[in-house]
Structures are given as C-alpha cells and as structure tokens.
Copies of this chain bind each other. A is one copy, B any other.
Amino acid sequence: MEERTEISTLGEFGLIDHLTKNNETKNASTILGVGDDGAVIDHFGKQTVISTDMLVEGIHFDLMYTPLKHLGYKSVVVNISDIYAMNATPTHITMSIAFSNRFSLEALDEFYEGIYAACDKYGVDLIGGDTTSSQKGFIISVTAIGEVPPDKYVTRSTAKVGDLVCVSGDLGGAFLGLTLLEREKKVYLETKGVQPDLENQDYIIGRILKPEARKDIIEFFAANDIIPTSMIDVSDGLSSELLHICKQSALGCVLYEEKIPVNDLARQFAYKLEIDPTACALSGGEDYELVFTIPQSEYDKLVLNEQISVVGYMTEAIEGSHIITKGGSRHPLTAQGWNAFN
C-alpha cells in the first residue's frame, strides 16, 4: 500500500520546511531565499522582468491523466516561457499553492519533484511562496523573475512593417496530445477496465504534459546578436499570439499555411482524427514555442537554425491579418485560442 501522510500532521511551517529542505540556490543574485517574509535579489545593473500565471484544476489541468510531477514541472515552464518571451533569462520563481485535504504529503512531494527538476534544468531558484488549503481542487500560482541587460527586453508592441514572422519548434502538438488524453479518459470512464491506448503517441503527449521553454532560442539570439523586434510565447495558439503582436504593434500580417511547422507524428495523429493540423497550430495553444519578428535584413542570421521557421511577414494595419492557405486562398486570421471564460 502506498504511504499517505496527512498534511495536517505537519502544519503550514512544517510543510514548508519539508517541501524546501533540498532547495539549493543557483544564482549569485539570490541573497535570501525561502523562509522569511520576502526573498532578496541583487541586480548587478540589470533590469528585472516579472511574470505570473495561475493554473487551476479542472480549468487548466485534469489530475486524472496529469502526473503531479509533470504538473509541477509544467507550472514552472509555462512561467519562465513568458520570461524568455521578453528576451530575458529567468532567474527566480515563487510558487504558491492551495489544495484540498484529498492531497497527501506524498502527492505534494511528487509535485515539488517536478518543480525542482524544472528549476535545475533552467537554472532558476525557488525563493518563496505560500501554501494554503482550498475548498476544492488544486490551484497553482507562479511568479517568475528574470533579468535582461538594460533595454534589451522585447515586447509585443514594436514589430515593424515588412518584418519577418518566425516561430520556434513546431505547433499544434500540445493540442493533439490533449485531445488524445481527453479521448482516452472518456473511453476509460465509459468502459471500466479498458486501459488507455497511448501507443506511439509519446511526442504529442509529451508536448501537453511536459512542455519545455525555449531557452535555446534566447541563447541563440544572444550568441548571434539578434534582437527580435517583437516576441510572444504560444500559450493560446499561433493566431491569437500573432494577433496580439498585430494589435499591440498597430500592424497587420500575412501568414502562409504551408510554412507553419507541424511535427510529422502530430500531423499523422491529426489525420487519424480527421482534424486539420493547421487548425491545431493556429488555435490549439500550450505549445510554449516563441513567435517573434525580425527585420528582413537579419534573415541570414537565422536561416541555418532548423529550430526556427519563417511563417509570414508584417504589413500595415489597414491590410488586416490574413492567412494564405496551401490552396492559395486568403482568409482573415481569427483568434479562436483557448479561452478560460468559455
């Protein structure tokens, strides 16, 4: 039988001690970490970038098919992805969680294992947080802090007409992974005892359960003296993100369907389900890739990077935002991304 320790036997402070006892800081700027009213960070003349995200059980994740360790990992990754999307380097996170009494200490340990794994991978220090109870479900709130050399941060609002629109990695996989998991959950619930059929779908399942943030792309920019003119990460789908850049930069854009990078395994699964892979890339979300714009003159600097695809270009606002399909027809780009309020 699995061990189960009630959290109430520890109390809040015992719990914090327990969850953070192996927490080692990695950044010289971490002057004071977990365990006081606040943490203290030094800056060495850099600028600080802050981002925050909340993940709510039943809205953002389903514990029926999400291992807690993966959830912990993902909670960190989705936040530091926002820091990378500012062209900054994440250095610190705070982690607040609320959970009902159905969670045992062992469950929280698993969750924190994922958090520490992500912190290690991305060189980030956990410096604080809050642990409390909820009436229902598991709620996670992460704040990520990063640093950037003065005025090298990149916003969504500074793309220019004629800039190339680029994306990292591939898109749509996370949505297809989610679709698969939801389908198998349904089958499992309707036909008790039937084990889920997830064979050969590691790629898309990995994309939804254990996404990675594009640290490599930011490092590539630094190594090659590239500063994108605008950037955003893909949480809601390519359409939605690109429309943010258009709106905030007061521009339009043209996107080429054939240029949108979709992984082969994801594409095959989409066909099997009779879903359009392009629709998954445009509206699926949760891929945590980077969408950014660069001047055409910078194209040579990134053409050899196989992790970057040029998918379109920016236009005057009056021309609107469109996608040119493989068949050559032109459609307005619409945001049908994931919306927590629908």
Residue ranges of A at the interface with B (Cβ–Cβ < 8 Å):
7-8, 10-13, 15, 31-32, 35-43, 45-54, 56-60, 82-83, 85-86, 88, 92, 94, 96-98, 101, 127-137, 139, 141, 143-146, 148, 150, 153, 155-157, 231-233, 244, 248, 339-342
Do B36 and A139 touch (CB < 8 A)?
A: no
A39 to B340, CA, bound (A): 22
Name the B residues within 8 Å of A148 (CB-CB): 40
A94 to B50, CA, bound (A): 8
Whole-angstrom distance between the Cβ of A321 and the nearest chain B Cβ = 15
27 A-B pairs within 8 Å (CB atoms) are namely A10-B341, A11-B341, A32-B155, A35-B248, A36-B157, A36-B232, A36-B248, A37-B232, A38-B49, A38-B88, A40-B47, A43-B48, A45-B45, A48-B48, A50-B127, A50-B143, A52-B129, A52-B130, A53-B96, A53-B130, A54-B97, A54-B98, A56-B98, A56-B135, A59-B135, A98-B139, A135-B137
Do B50 and A341 touch (CB < 8 A)?
A: no
Do B132 and A8 touch (CB < 8 A)?
A: no
Residue of B nearest to A155 (CB): B36
Whole-angstrom distance between the Cβ of A39 and the nearest chain B Cβ = 5
Sort A-B residue pairs by CB-CB distance and give the 5 closest, nearest first: A141-B141, A38-B51, A37-B82, A37-B85, A143-B143
- Residue in contact with A86 in the complex, picked from B38, B82, B145, CB distance below 8 Å: B38
A278 to B296, CA, bound (A): 71
Do B39 and A51 touch (CB < 8 A)?
A: yes
A242 to B289, CA, bound (A): 47
A177 to B233, CA, bound (A): 46
Name the B residues within 8 Å of A101 (CB-CB): 341
